[in-house]
Amino acid sequence: MLDRFTVKLIRTPLSSAAVMLDKAGITANQTTLFGFAIGCLAFPALIQEQYLYALLFIVINRVCDGLDGALARIQGITDAGGFLDISLDFLFYSLIPFGFVLASPENNAIAGAFLIFSFIGTGSSFLAFAIMASKQGIENPVYQHKSLYYMSGLTEGTETIACFILFCLFPSYFAAIAYVFGAACWFTTFTRIYSGFDTLNKTNM
């Protein structure tokens, strides 16, 4: 829901940083892999309940996720790069709640499982529509520089990162936050399925 606004806010600083990285010979795919590796460090930090360290790794991962896209727009957007980026993003999104589950399974296991389950809904509806939109030649007027159709919803990247930040700042409230955000993710899933089916059905008439 908020991505269309945050993208505009961070576009200029990311573009400036991307120009410098491009001059240094850093590629978009290298940035994607580096960001994922840093993001994975949040996992052991969470298990050890070092939540501020985990938050730092999460923030670095998300900055790299913005930088790889900015670099791709300079160096050329590729299907391979887009595939790598979205695959590692979804793995990272599930890694964070799993880390909280292992940190305190007696308190977080069910809520963490519910949240990961909800991520399956948002992720599968997002990717399934992107595949069909590509086949039908449907373009997104809002996110024209993405390598695949970026389907909007109540919970997008901005909301997910805000949720992760809340987890790290208030770890004792993980379960409550996870249930609320998971419910919002299911709302996103159902609206995406409805609007996606309706859009594709109309293109075939």
49: left (phi over 0), alpha (psi -120 to 50) or beta: left
For residue 195, the one-letter residue type is: S
- Dist CA 39 CA 62 (whole Å): 8
pTM of the model: 0.89
Q: 54: which DSSP letter?
A: H
Mean pLDDT by 10 residues, the chain (205 residues): 77 92 96 98 98 98 94 93 94 97 98 97 92 80 58 85 97 98 96 90 77
Count other Cβ atoms within 10 Å, centred on residue 52: 9
Residue in 62, 61, 67 with CA at minimum distance from that of residue 13: 67
The CB-based long-range contact list for 118-121 (8 Å cut-off, 24+ gap) reads 118/181, 118/182, 118/183, 118/185, 118/186, 118/189, 119/90, 119/93, 119/94, 119/185, 121/185, 121/186, 121/188, 121/189
**CATH code for the domain in which residue 31 is found:** 1.20.120.1760
Please tell me the total count of domains within the chain. 1
Q: What is the pLDDT of residue 152?
A: 77
State the amino acid at position 96 in one-letter form.
I
Q: Which amino acid is it at 147?
A: S
Provide the strand spans (E) within 75-119.
none
- pLDDT confidence of residue 97: 98
Query: Please, what is the Cα angle at 79 between 11 and 164, to 5 degrees?
Result: 50
Alpha-carbon gap, residue 160 to 181, rounded angstroms: 8
Q: Which domain holds residue 22?
A: 3-203
38: tokens are 């840093």
